[in-house]
A and B are shown apart, each in its own frame.
Chain A
Amino acid sequence: MATAPNTTAAAKQESQPGFVYLPLIAGWLVPGAGHFLLRKWGRGALLAASILSMFVLGLVMQGKLYTGAHDILDILGMAGDLGNGLLYVVSRVFSLGADQVQVTTADYGTRFIVVAGLLNVIAAVDAHNLRTGRKA
Chain B
Amino acid sequence: MTHFTAVVLFALFASVVFGITQRETPPRMFRYGIYCFVLFTGSAIALSWVMFLIAR
Contacts and interface: CB of A to CB of B under 8 A. Distances in A.
Contact of B13 (A53, A108, A125): A53
Contacts, number: 47
A122 B21 contact: yes
Binding site of A, secondary structure by majority: helix, strand, loop or mixed? Answer: helix
B16 A50 contact: yes
Given A105-B1, A112-B10, A47 B16 contact: yes
Nearest to A5: B24
A76 interface: no
A54 B9 CA distance: 8
A35 to B, nearest CB: 8
A115 B40 CA distance: 14
Interface string B1-20: 10100100110111011101
Contacts of A136: 24
How big is the A interface, by class? 20 to 34
Contact of B24 (A53, A125, A135): A135
A125 B20 CA distance: 12
A119 B13 contact: yes
Contact of A123 (B3, B6, B10, B17): B17
A65 interface: no
Contacts of B24: 135-136
A126 B20 contact: yes
Given A47-B17, A61-B1, A122-B18, 16 more contacts: A43-B20, A46-B20, A50-B12, A50-B17, A53-B9, A53-B13, A54-B9, A105-B6, A108-B1, A108-B3, A112-B6, A115-B10, A115-B14, A123-B21, A126-B20, A126-B21
* A-B complex: 6 closest residue pairs judged by Cβ atoms: A126-B21, A50-B13, A50-B16, A119-B17, A54-B13, A108-B6
